[in-house]
Amino acid sequence: MKNLISDTISKTLSRGDEAALSAVRFCQMQLMADKDKAFEDSMLSNAPNTVANETGYYSIGVWEPMYRGKEIVFSRNMNRGDFFLWETTRQEIKLKKTGGTKRVCFVGESTAAGMFFTPHITPALALKDHLSKLQPESDWEVIDLTRISLNAVGLVDLSEACLQLEPDYLIILAGNNWFRSACFEHDAAISERVSYADVLEKIGVPGIANAYKTKVEQHTDFIFKSLCGVLEKHDTQTVFLLPSSNYEDWERNCPVPWLGEKKTARWHEVYDNALSALASDEFHQALTLGQTLLELDGGIYPSSNRLVANSLIKLERFDEAYPYCLAEVDYANVFTKVTSIPGMPSFAKTRILKADTPKNMKIIDLDPILSESLGKKTLDKSLFIDYCHMTPAGFYASMVPVAAHLLRAPSKKFINTEIKPSVDPFILAIGHLYVALYTIHVNQPIANTVQLEEAVVLFQLSVDYSDKILDAMEYYVKARAIFHEDKAIFSLSQCGQRLFELVNSPFDFKVSQHTPGAVDPIAIEAICRCLENNGRQGLRLLSDYQQRFIRLLDKGVDLSEPQFVERVNQVIRLSTDAELSTRRRLPFYKSWWPRSYFTLVSDNTTDLVAQVTCRILNGAEKDVSLYINKTCIKTFVAGKTWHKFEVAIPKETLSAGFNRVCLKWPALPTQENHIIKELSQRYAEGLELDAFPVFGEVYSMVVKRAIG
């Protein structure tokens, strides 16, 4: 019987069509329908506890127990693959603390680590400064055990491991990295599809966000209960800090999925008009349109909430903007196909704030703490360098309630306690240089204009700390010019090597380069203009950089290659994959927005010609328009099959250097319910699907010099 079943399945699969795969998927769904996949089985710890060695103790993250004479110490293992993700300066930790010392263990994720400024200035160091300032007679030992990208199960394991040190206090700042496994995965394994398949069948795509909220709440309950279970076995006083977010300066825009009932096409029409209203400073009009968006999508998608928040912020109605900022964070990571921005949803915080906690644990939500410090609810770049990582000012503000709790003192004592870190200004300049790169590469608003001046300001902030950073900016431009042609040369070049040396933490450069090999027009031009403004030959450097790409026009440049795609993180999920900017990651370009943007680098001495191979998947043949720098060059009719169109680009429409190429796609079809039903069926069967409407696809867009 067993052989008969396997032979039948083998023959079915050998047919090689979707019907065969569907049959097998339905069998799997039936077998797994009653299986309750527990959260604890779906995530592995990236800071696991290990078996105790001959010392009787086990590792605390990267620090492993060993004998040093008769004393036990935890020594840093430099052979571990993740050693650079942990706090980098501490080589060993003594098991026994010195008599009279008050020991504080500080654990958490990249926010707790002080990303981009670690190890020179961190939340742990800010806490020690507060403690030493207000209680100088005490000897405070603050042990920083933070790890960048620490996950939820890793946090529980690390918290348990550090209790081997018998700290007087344990400080935990975490929660941004907990919910990756709750996302709706478009290509999830069949075992993961079970929970969302029912939602799709009964409610449709709009039900995914509500299902995500439920899963996040369940995950929060499990994680926090596990953590409390560890802590209640010990007497260590614990402070758990719920992380906050940059609500004013960071946009978590995501495309809207199919909404059904002709709503999606209408949503994009209204959204486009709202963007235009914002760009024209018509903030009341933008707000009205934003409210229409919320009515269309139910208020559970980030882009519409962000637009309303932006309108209210521009009108200086900050308290009114706050709930929309929260909603944006809440639903920014529902789908896996879009940018992953760490953050803790407000409904996860609510679960923790209402949970039963051990007597030795205090919960502190940083939102009201930082809001009071700033004087408004919409926290901004004065406290945050990006979406959740803080500035040094944010470190000190967030550690005020912690120090007050440890010292049993009212927080008001800290109001006039201005503590400035004794850090070399060049260290701060380096941090802000990588912050600028990271922000420009990741925080890419959906807009029809390029805000270059704002990018220049980001780099100028770095220069304001130390003009020595101008050398590093030049290294970046020169190294990126080489990097485009050969990735290996970047790290081997003199400029690349110098750049690698100028980091505060080994992880800084890696995370700031989410678009390796890209033309990088905004960052490059902003740096060069900043150099020029500060007495360097920035414009000449910019011209030299652009010449490498201009020469490619003799043979032809395919603008659909990832390195020429503007906002590539709207197409390819952010990662540190070495193949991020390759055709393997982007076989062809698909647009989830009504406009697609690409970067063309050219001079304006000769005419060019573009050969565009594209298609639209939904509806009958419709017009597609190609723009160069806001000038419509040609409109052609595209359909469901791939077709090549040739477009002449007059030299008069070109600028010398970076040019913005735009494809404007036709409006979406209105037969949405039928599309959603088909998507639900495909998801249940384990077939490929896209929950977002695709306006158009580009197989290639080759631009070269015109002949003759």
pLDDT band (50, 70, 90) for residue 309? very high
Q: With contact defined as beta carbons under 8 Å apart, do 81 and 66 qualify? A: no
423 vs 234, residue with greater confidence: 234
Inform me whether the pLDDT recorded for 66 exceeds 50: yes
Q: Boundaries of CATH 3.40.50.1110 in the chain?
A: 93-250+332-414
* β-strand pairing of 643-649 with 608-615: antiparallel
**Fold annotation for 263-330:** 1.25.40
pLDDT at 182: 83
- From CA 94, how far away is CA 342, in angstroms rounded? 33
pLDDT at 2: 46
**Residue tagged 């900016």 (tokens):** 473
Q: Boundaries of CATH 2.60.120.260 in the chain?
A: 555-708
Instruction: Provide, rounded to the nearest whole percent, the portion of the chain with pLDDT above 90.
Output: 59
- Residue 308 to residues 259, 299, 326, 378, 601: CA-CA distances in angstroms? 19, 10, 12, 13, 35
Q: Among 359-373, 400-414, 518-532, 605-619, whose mean pLDDT is lowest?
A: 400-414
pLDDT at 384: 95
Q: Boundaries of CATH 1.25.40.10 in the chain?
A: 263-330
Tens of pLDDT, residue by residue over 385-400, are 999 999 999 999 999 9
Q: With contact defined as beta carbons under 8 Å apart, do 395 and 122 qualify? A: yes
pLDDT at 414: 60
* Residue 694 tokens, joined: 């695709």
Q: With contact defined as beta carbons under 8 Å apart, do 87 and 146 qualify? A: yes
Instruction: Provide, rounded to the nearest whole percent, the portion of the chain with pLDDT above 70.
Output: 86
Tens of pLDDT, residue by residue over 143-168, are 999 999 899 999 999 999 999 999 99
Q: Quick one: average pLDDT of 195-221?
A: 86
In this structure, whether the domain defined by 93-250+332-414 belongs to CATH 3.40.50.150 is answered with no
* DSSP 3-state of 65: strand
* Mean pLDDT score of the chain: 86
pLDDT at 494: 76
Q: With contact defined as beta carbons under 8 Å apart, do 301 and 331 qualify? A: yes
* Residue 13 tokens, joined: 């699969």
Q: With contact defined as beta carbons under 8 Å apart, do 638 and 616 qualify? A: yes
Q: Quick one: average pLDDT of 348-363?
A: 95
pLDDT band (50, 70, 90) for residue 303? very high
pLDDT at 119: 93
Q: With contact defined as beta carbons under 8 Å apart, do 90 and 126 qualify? A: no
pLDDT band (50, 70, 90) for residue 498? confident
pLDDT at 514: 60
Tens of pLDDT, residue by residue over 337-352, are 776 788 999 999 999 9
pLDDT at 412: 65
Say whether the peptide bond before residue 119 is cis (omega within 30 degrees of 0): yes
Residue of 650, 648, 647 lying closest to 636 (CA atoms): 647
* Residue 344 tokens, joined: 């803790």
Q: Quick one: average pLDDT of 315-341?
A: 89
Tens of pLDDT, residue by residue over 517-566, are 578 899 999 999 999 999 999 999 999 999 989 999 999 999 998 888 88
- From CA 699, how far away is CA 583, in angstroms rounded? 11
- From CA 508, how far away is CA 88, in angstroms rounded? 13
Inform me whether the pLDDT recorded for 36 exceeds 50: no
Inform me whether the pLDDT recorded for 328 exceeds 90: yes
Neighbours of 282 (CB within 10 A): 16
Tens of pLDDT, residue by residue over 260-301, are 888 999 999 999 999 999 999 999 999 999 999 999 999 999
Tens of pLDDT, residue by residue over 463-484, are 999 999 999 999 889 888 765 4
**Residue tagged 């430099």 (tokens):** 78
pLDDT band (50, 70, 90) for residue 578? very low
pLDDT at 689: 77
Q: Quick one: average pLDDT of 177-190?
A: 78
* DSSP 3-state of 249: coil
pLDDT band (50, 70, 90) for residue 40? very low
- From CA 176, how far away is CA 152, in angstroms rounded? 9
Strand partners of residue 632: 627
Inform me whether the pLDDT recorded for 15 exceeds 60: no
- From CA 650, how far away is CA 392, in angstroms rounded? 50
pLDDT at 566: 85
- Residue 656 to residues 358, 448, 521, 600, 692: CA-CA distances in angstroms? 65, 20, 13, 10, 36
Q: Among 4-18, 158-172, 449-463, whose mean pLDDT is lowest?
A: 4-18
Annotate 152-200 with three-state secondary structure. HHHHHHHHHHHHHHCCCEEEEECCCCCCHHHCECCCCCHHHHHHHHHHH
User: What residue type is 258 in one-letter code?
Assistant: W
Q: With contact defined as beta carbons under 8 Å apart, do 333 and 178 qualify? A: no
Residue of 192, 193, 189, 154 lying closest to 175 (CA atoms): 154
- From CA 78, how far away is CA 355, in angstroms rounded? 39
CA atoms within 13 A on the CB side of 401: 20
* Residue 15 tokens, joined: 């047919």
* DSSP 8-state class, residue 333: T
555-708 maps to which CATH number?
A: 2.60.120.260
Inform me whether the pLDDT recorded for 506 exceeds 90: no
- From CA 220, how far away is CA 181, in angstroms rounded? 12
**Residue tagged 């580009």 (tokens):** 698
Annotate 462-510 with three-state secondary structure. HHHHCCCHHHHHHHHHHHHHHHHHCHHHHHHCHHHHHHHHCCCCCCHHH
700 vs 183, residue with greater confidence: 700
pLDDT at 686: 75
Question: Cβ neighbours of residue 521 under 8 Å, at least 6 residues apart?
Answer: 566, 599, 601, 658
